Structure 1
Amino acid sequence: MYKIRVERGRTYMLRIINAALNNQLFFKIANHTMTVVSIDASYTDPYETDVIVTAPGQTVDVLIKADQPVGSYYMAARPYISVPLPTVIPFDNTTTRGIFAYEGSESNNSVMPTLPDFLDTPTAHKFYTNLTGLAGGPQWVPVPLVVDEHMFVTVGLSTEPCEEINATCPNGQRFSASMNNESFVFPQNASMLEAYCYGRVDGVYTTDFPDNPPIVFDYTNPSLSNVEPLIFAPKSTKVKKLKFNSTVEMVLQNTALQAARTIRFTSHEGL
């Protein structure tokens, strides 16, 4: 088991990385609080918390002071599932642990933290909404105030017909991720970059990716998953053309169609 040896009274910086494939993770160290100072290499206003939430591939830098009685304390993590009941899909519900051990500790008994429930969205929401960029900090870049292009893009899980019915295509349908109800398909004749460089885009891609979803609806309502105009996304290869050095504001809206997804994006001024 992974073990960190620490001296009482010292402060340590931990860079915590979620190496999972699909699951967000809750992370705690028994009887200790952490101060979040960076997310994905972007400085944040210091935020003190006893639990952090990390998305797959995300890094969270925290400062932790070894200020508890000499002993051993478990560091523990387990999944946070954002999909509401009763549509929770199977996931690994185990808990992984390491040890935060003080120098001089002779006991093999470690204290275990109380982790949030797998479906504890309020705790995850509290963590994410308390993170703000460190304005004026190192490498900080002010957000542009003049915007040239505006886009509103829905991101969700749609469906598409299958040519044959089998185990992976129940009811003759399969999942198809989409943006603004357009589901990407790989070009067959040339790559998009080759087509652009050689000026032969016909049959490879079109330049009419929509700035807005074709239908406005309640994006957070999972009961709309049976509304066919919303869940069937046409296959296409479309791009949005932009002028060099233009500033684009893109609002990304998750949809609850088929299954909810948590999407996290950082900026220099906030989240």
Structure 2
Amino acid sequence: MNKIYKLLPLFLGLISLQVYSAGCAGSNGNCAEPSKYILTMTKLELCTSVPNTGPYDVTCNGATTVGTGSLEFDVTSVSAGQAIATFASTKGLPIGTTFTHIKPTMLRKIQLQGSVSVSGSGFTTFTCHTDSSATLNGANKYNRLLAGKTSGSPTLMTYYLNTDSGEQTQNGVTYTSQNAANLMKQCLNQDCSSTYSWTNYNKDLPTSTDSRFGLSIEDITNSDDDFSMIFALKEPYTVSEVAPKIDIAFGTKMSLSADTSNGTSCSISPYYVKSEITITD
């Protein structure tokens, strides 16, 4: 485990939260810790096993739902553990059942606030801030990287997890959401009237680097408003007569990413949050 930089011992009923460092996101190391990283969870399931046939396989065998609804929480906040504790309940789990994985489903909407120092070859280092006034110029919200701002202070902006673009093959399968019709564009100014096209853009998990980023993520299309992921429990858990406690560790330290295509403007987006889940009596 990476060095723990913040520990929040929130043993709040059934769920507690810890925070530790996440890996650097941008290809040039353009990443930082956000001051806000707000997710909305709509469902939480425990799995007895997963096929794990590829990076987009989110099949959850023996699924048991422990939470449904709409929970908005900031994973950088000390109150996140308490919020999740009110959302999920482990009472009534089938005794003797062994769970190995967990499957959260979340809205593609992610709210971010923070600043990233952007550096690279051929241009002067500058700071990219989240911008609440950045717009899409009427474009599909799932096919744009919103512009950040290079002056002022960071403000809370709303980002949407993008649909992959370009032909991408994983384990011999070309995924249908990844095609030229979903061409990703980076907004170069606040109203997105000027853009830069990405011929190949995907959200593949860095599982080979650290499985705490997740084992798989759903291959979503432009018609999907939410997405699911699969995480392995730190250790398999067999249900006893005592309602267990779920401990969730989030890592957000380097989960805000910024990029530039011209050295003067920037786009800003979230990177995956590391999550480590433990179930104990």
State the TM-score, normalizing by the size of structure 1. 0.23
Structure whose residues are more often strand by fraction: 2
State the TM-score, normalizing by the size of structure 2. 0.22
Mark the structure with the bigger radius of gyration: 1
